[in-house]
Amino acid sequence: MKEKFPISDWSLVLAVQHGTEHVRSRALKLICENYWGPVHQEILYWLEGKGRRLRKSATDLAQEFFLELVNRNAFREASPGEGKLRTLLNTALGNFLLNQKQDAKDQDPGSDPPDHGFDRGWAEHLRDMAREKLQQYYVLRDNSKLFHALFLHLEKRIGKDTYRELSEFLGISREALSTHLSRMRKRYHTLIFEEIARTVDSTDEIEGELKYLRGLLAG
């Protein structure tokens, strides 16, 4: 059976706009869960980078931000034609943090939240989600030793000495090691692909997003 395309973030927004109360509540919860990581990280950078004099933690501010989005029905008129959902959230977060800055009378120059930081947080969040799912896959198959030995080598070329050391550590041949690496890389890239697919509204956008994500993580 053909694998079902993941529910996109814009599909969740449409559910918020047109669904029943139960569907709307569930969709809002999923949006908040999907973007909690990038939002929390961006707020943390904002607080630490400028030595903010606020008595609220990044967690407190992230909770306030999402509560504000829900209370003012921020997704009511949003549409895919306006661009990516993370862009909408990034703009809303920027305004939210500016208000926090003004409330704290923190008027230091050049302290506005950087747009690029949010996208990098998004990229790191997607990568971490894929990594967690990959690890879970191997743990459930009692192969956690294999995962921990090989994961750090997925994105780089492995020299002969490293191949030999890994083969000895795992007690397998070089050929078997090469097969395990190939399979793990393929599964990892598939998981990243699926995480990106969840954030776009069309399969045509995935390759562009994947290239952008890699650029953010490499920078």
- Does the pLDDT of residue 108 top 70, yes or no? no
Cα separation of 83 and 88, whole Å?
Answer: 8
The tens digit of pLDDT for each residue in 119-145 reads: 888 888 889 889 999 999 999 999 999
- Does the pLDDT of residue 205 top 70, yes or no? yes
148-169 in b/e form (b: 16+ CB < 10 A) is ebbeebbeeeeeeeeeeebbee
Q: Which long-range contacts (CB under 8 A, 24 or more apart) does 153-160 make?
A: 153/181, 154/181, 154/184, 154/185, 154/188
Q: Which of 1-10, 37-46, 176-185 has maximum average pLDDT? A: 176-185
- Does the pLDDT of residue 104 top 60, yes or no? no
Cα separation of 156 and 170, whole Å?
Answer: 19
Contact 192, 210 (CB under 8 A): yes
Contact 16, 31 (CB under 8 A): yes
Note the pLDDT of residue 138: 94
- Of the two residues 198 and 136, the one the predictor is more confident about is 136
Q: How confident is the model at residue 4 (pLDDT cuts 50, 70, 90)?
A: very low
Contact 88, 39 (CB under 8 A): no
Note the pLDDT of residue 6: 44
For 7, 192, 193, 195, the CA distances from 198, given in Å and listed in that order, are: 6, 10, 9, 5
Whether the model pTM is above 0.85: no
Query: What mean pLDDT is reported for the chain?
Result: 82
H helices, E strands: number in the chain: 9, 0
Note the pLDDT of residue 131: 93
Q: Of the candidates 124, 115, 125, which has an alpha carbon nearest to the alpha carbon of residue 36?
A: 125
Q: What percent of the chain has pLDDT over 70?
A: 85
The tens digit of pLDDT for each residue in 49-72 reads: 655 555 678 899 999 999 999 888
Q: Which of 36-45, 60-69, 86-95, 208-217 has maximum average pLDDT? A: 60-69
Q: How confident is the model at residue 109 (pLDDT cuts 50, 70, 90)?
A: very low
> Span 78-96, mean pLDDT?
83
- Does the pLDDT of residue 112 top 50, yes or no? no
For 9, 60, 189, the CA distances from 154, given in Å and listed in that order, are: 29, 36, 10
Count the neighbouring beta carbons within 10 Å of the beta carbon of residue 7: 13
79, amino acid identity:
S
